[in-house]
Structure 1
């Protein structure tokens, strides 16, 4: 059995399964039998002719080099790709309520477990896991809200809001802003349909971030503050369920104001968030927000970076307990490290920037190897480092497929 054939076959199987394609369906797509596919995936048969490689790659939605080149295969496997973005777009375009036949009965408990699993994938910065499973869960949750008993209605709507929110948040990281906006808008529409404060607060953050991505910062801040005002009184009586979501609205407003170059509002919003955070334990994590004093403090660093105050951001970061940061999720830790990388780069401390970017890659590889933001930092450091730091940056850039 040829080693190259085995490797190509393994990649074909990987991408077929990642696309959620059965053996029969994929064999039909390429005009071959399942026995032929079995031999290709096991390496018993070579996939060497270019036309056939191209046909298989097209069916899988990947570049042919992803099947034949080890380096490109590794990079592609670790990142969300265009095919998965399209699958999310397709799921968002479904309107099951228009169907003439009743929606399939879906277990609320089942979709809730799936949503919790994907929430954990998000916190771990496992975006390929999210991208693979979100379309299917979205479809099931869309059906659930049409068929569940009345006493399970809010729970089903919360799962659907969660799927839309996760899709929007992930897509914004990869600058697929148009699809992210659609997902966020669906989250808000769904939340308003059930008039559930929990759902509305989560959807509002998604909509505000989507607004910010399209340079509608003022509208985003207004939307966040309207929601905070709406839920303030309810938060006082339902703090365990709502306070973390309430505080996160102010953190989002602070970051948005900083991006708008408004230091006064950014500071005011940070202070409002801190008031809420101080009422609870430092790592208060209701609803997977990791809201608390530490997350509020690292958001302040992020705001200062966006205000182009790299030196002040680094000074403020020195006041944050490293062990408290280490208790946060991989997603939060890595984004803090990316902010510190940007801050050190802005003040010309490139050696330290390289070290922190390397830490971010260790904590959450997909954040560094796949995100456009991290790619920009890599390009900057490729141009501004020499010696050992330059070697380390080049290695990270190679893993991310980034060239100077």
Structure 2
């Protein structure tokens, strides 16, 4: 967007925030500050001198250069890193996805479609149950992708539809396993192929699940309105089929509601966020109490976890921590999702300035799933903030955690 050169830094921040549909409490919360602080910055009542806070604002506003905020103050303007993290499994996955051949070497024996579905289901279970899920699932994905692609080319009829569903799920899992480590172009390719395979299978539940994954990409690239419309359209596609449908179809539908709740919360739209969460809550109440969707983890526990996430993203840290006190983390069978819950609780403590509690909780999250903390930007930012701002007595402990997560302290 074109920003008039006459605007002050505060006016620029307000223009950028409003252009992204973000409320003042949400943007301030992403920077670890309160809305009154941001109001004074935007009004010019308070001068913004901290380079660290400038970097946080740029990251929260999805900017690649501080010049958008500082205007002519070129002495503090420099590019913002893309935030992509390195993982040793990425090259092999990249090769399987991006070097897909036009001419396929077909095997003498056709692949077994049901076996492909079994392998995909096992890979999803590994993703949710391993504390090194990116590494272990990443080792499976290249062969799984190639075998599923082959199956869609050689099988026919119902078996081909089954293969397409397996291929869609394999690409969806690839998107999960490579989030924040894959180049942006591959993330889009994977999400698009998951949707295309689901559409080729003509399976409403698979299409809705693929839309859930593509919505994650849209949300993470600062397109909240597009993400909301996409998951709403997917829910509309699935809704007519819900009466008498398998439980997993309702599970996907509920996951779409929770996706919309978090998307709205991150945009600062509290009313919409809680409306979507209520819709997901109603879906969970219609399912057996022990039900859990195999990939999205939608179920009673996940609805409760998302209630905390929505409150945290709306900068209602006190409410989030109160909700967290009532949740049983062990009710969630996914290690990855349990770890992310504790990251949300740690963020709530940081918003309230309780760094001692935040450090304790972040260590719990890391103990549950090392790679979830190491490869989730929000968790890494929290660990870095703890290292920078922890009380002196806790600095060695915070430093050890940062080192374990792989954060290099200059």
TM interval, shorter chain, is 0.7 to 0.9
Q: Which of 184, 189, 197 is equivalent to 2:196?
A: 189
Question: After TM superposition, which residue ranges in structure 1, 4 or more long, deviate above 6 angstroms?
Answer: none
Matched, 1:137 2:141: no
Once the two structures are superposed, the pairs formed by residues 115-126 of structure 1 within 5 Å of their partners are: 115-124=120-129, 125=131, 126=133
Q: Which of 149, 164, 169 is equivalent to 2:176?
A: 169
Q: 2: distance between equivalents of 1:312 and 1:162? A: 36
Q: 2: distance between equivalents of 1:400 and 1:106? A: 40
In structure 1, list runs of 5 or more residues that go unmatched: 1-79
Contact 1:305 1:343 in 2 (8 A): yes
Please give the root-mean-square deviation of Cα atoms over the aligned residues, in Å: 2.1
Contact 2:380 2:407 in 1 (8 A): yes
Matched, 1:331 2:336: yes
Contact 2:215 2:227 in 1 (8 A): yes
Return the offset for 1:337. Answer: 0.4
2:247 corresponding residue in structure 1: 240
Q: Which of 340, 364, 377 is equivalent to 2:382?
A: 377
In structure 2, list runs of 5 or more residues that go unmatched: 1-84
Matched, 1:99 2:103: yes
- Cα deviation code 1:189-221 (max 9, x no counterpart): 111122111210110011100111211111111
Q: 2: distance between equivalents of 1:349 and 1:185? A: 42
Q: 2: distance between equivalents of 1:163 and 1:275? A: 29
Q: 2: distance between equivalents of 1:123 and 1:323? A: 13
1:319 corresponding residue in structure 2: 326
Q: Which of 252, 256, 264 is equivalent to 2:263?
A: 256
Q: Which has the higher contact order (CA 8 A, sep 6+)?
A: 2
Equivalenced residues, count: 323
Q: 2: distance between equivalents of 1:318 and 1:277? A: 21
Q: 1:370 to 1:95 in 2, by over 3 A?
A: closer
1:345 corresponding residue in structure 2: 350
Return the offset for 1:86. Answer: 3.1
2:59 corresponding residue in structure 1: none
Q: 1:84 to 1:321 in 2, by over 3 A?
A: closer
1:302 corresponding residue in structure 2: 309
Contact 2:208 2:253 in 1 (8 A): yes
Q: 1: distance between equivalents of 2:250 and 2:180? A: 26
Contact 1:171 1:179 in 2 (8 A): no
TM-score (norm 2): 0.74
1:291 corresponding residue in structure 2: 298
Q: 2: distance between equivalents of 1:175 and 1:350? A: 32
Q: Which of 97, 113, 117 is equivalent to 2:118?
A: 113
1:216 corresponding residue in structure 2: 223
- Structure showing the higher helix proportion among its residues: 1
Q: 1:322 to 1:331 in 2, by over 3 A?
A: closer
Contact 2:172 2:213 in 1 (8 A): yes
Contact 2:359 2:398 in 1 (8 A): yes
1:368 corresponding residue in structure 2: 373
Q: 1: distance between equivalents of 2:278 and 2:198? A: 28
Return the offset for 1:369. Answer: 3.0
Contact 2:104 2:150 in 1 (8 A): no
- Cα deviation code 1:9-40 (max 9, x no counterpart): xxxxxxxxxxxxxxxxxxxxxxxxxxxxxxxx
